[in-house]
Chain A
């Protein structure tokens, strides 16, 4: 799968969608919908909902996160929104305010 890497200096005033893996280090104002893995870098900021297979957040997210497989909030992550994922990890140093909904593992 092709990989999308967004540099820290870029700003996307819109939505991002991909079938592969996405790494966002910049600023995204719209929603992010990724089929593969989504990685939000420490300088990344996503100001909308996020949906991906696997979500790994090290930056700021203002919106809900839905990970179909798992969601990992790394140290330095700042999440303001709900999380919905079957598996969730919140590392030491992460800031999180929201609700968590973990679907029962089928």
Chain B
């Protein structure tokens, strides 16, 4: 009968053979070479070496780790983790020093630096790194100005377009009214003829020049899809001709006279 003195934990090396299967956790002191299969966690004080062909289904926590086999679980080492080229790991790797050889298959997060003090992505105080999911969402970084945005919505729906029109009209007409040198000599017909085609573009142009010359280059009036109604042909060159159109502009006939007048108030 041999009486074995208790050897220091680091030097006691255990081997799990290639055809061995352990279903359960392995804990304690000593080092371990895994050549077989382990279904359970390994938490030992020494080194763990997962050889090629071995598989561990569970977390491994050891002093230093070498993985050349398959591990599905988190790896945490006090000193280092080395993943060989044949290693396949699905889980977190956490150790002060981590080395991964070319060809290894690693899926998971990698945290180097002392365990526990690793720069966790969720550590308070540090800016949270965007996750892959967040990165995919394209934020609207350049929101368009409200007016332009609405303008781009070229919906055939009458109300929206007309609202824009009214706003433009109201603003411009107010400005125009302020100007004494209001020139209404431009005939209406070219203005009206221009209203239906190319409406939006004209509108944009007009907005840029806040005070466009009153050359009758008019306004894009409303949605180009809308047929010219009888209202649009209303003579607008006369100022104050109609009671509800006291601020009538020479260039921009609106489709709904009532709406236009209402907004003035």
**Interface on A for B, CB 8 Å cutoff?**
1-22, 25-27, 29-30, 41-43, 58, 74-76, 93
- In the complex, which of the residues B6, B20, B22, B36 contacts A8, with contact meaning CB atoms closer than 8 Å? B6
Kindly state the separation between the CA atoms of A16 and B17 in the bound complex, as whole angstroms. Answer: 11
Given known contacts A2-B35, A43-B4, A75-B1, is B26 in contact with A11 (CB within 8 Å)? yes
Q: Contacting chain A: which of B7-15, B78-86, B205-213? A: B7-15
Interface size on B, residues (CB 8 A): 34
Kindly state the separation between the CA atoms of A19 and B35 in the bound complex, as whole angstroms. Answer: 13
Chain A residues near B187 (CB-CB < 8 A): none
Kindly state the separation between the CA atoms of A82 and B57 in the bound complex, as whole angstroms. Answer: 34
Is the CB–CB distance between B2 and A42 below 8 Å?
Answer: yes
Is the CB–CB distance between B14 and A19 below 8 Å?
Answer: no
Main secondary structure of the interface of A (DSSP, over half): loop
Instruction: Say how far B51's CB is from chain A's closest CB, in angstroms.
Output: 10
- In the complex, which of the residues A9, A15, A19, A21 contacts B28, with contact meaning CB atoms closer than 8 Å? A9
- In the complex, which of the residues B19, B24, B25, B26 contacts A1, with contact meaning CB atoms closer than 8 Å? B19
Give 19 A-B contacts (CB < 8 Å), ordered by A residue.
A1-B19, A2-B20, A3-B15, A4-B15, A4-B16, A4-B17, A7-B14, A7-B29, A7-B30, A7-B32, A8-B4, A9-B45, A10-B26, A14-B24, A17-B20, A20-B20, A21-B17, A26-B14, A42-B4
Chain B residues near A8 (CB-CB < 8 A): 4, 6-7, 12, 30
- In the complex, which of the residues A2, A5, A12, A58 contacts B22, with contact meaning CB atoms closer than 8 Å? A12
Chain B positions 55 through 86: 1 when the CB is less than 8 Å from some CB of chain A, otherwise 0: 00000000000000000000000000000000
Kindly state the separation between the CA atoms of A58 and B31 in the bound complex, as whole angstroms. Answer: 23
Kindly state the separation between the CA atoms of A42 and B45 in the bound complex, as whole angstroms. Answer: 22
User: B107 at interface (Cβ–Cβ under 8 A)?
Assistant: no
Is the CB–CB distance between A10 and B28 below 8 Å?
Answer: yes
Kindly state the separation between the CA atoms of A59 and B150 in the bound complex, as whole angstroms. Answer: 85
Given known contacts A14-B25, A43-B4, is B30 in contact with A2 (CB within 8 Å)? no
User: B3 at interface (Cβ–Cβ under 8 A)?
Assistant: yes
Instruction: Say how far B221's CB is from chain A's closest CB, in angstroms.
Output: 82
Chain B residues near A93 (CB-CB < 8 A): 1
Q: Beyond A7-B13, A21-B17: 4 further Cβ-contacts under 8 Å?
A: A2-B36, A9-B44, A11-B27, A16-B21
Is the CB–CB distance between A20 and B29 below 8 Å?
Answer: no
User: B23 at interface (Cβ–Cβ under 8 A)?
Assistant: yes
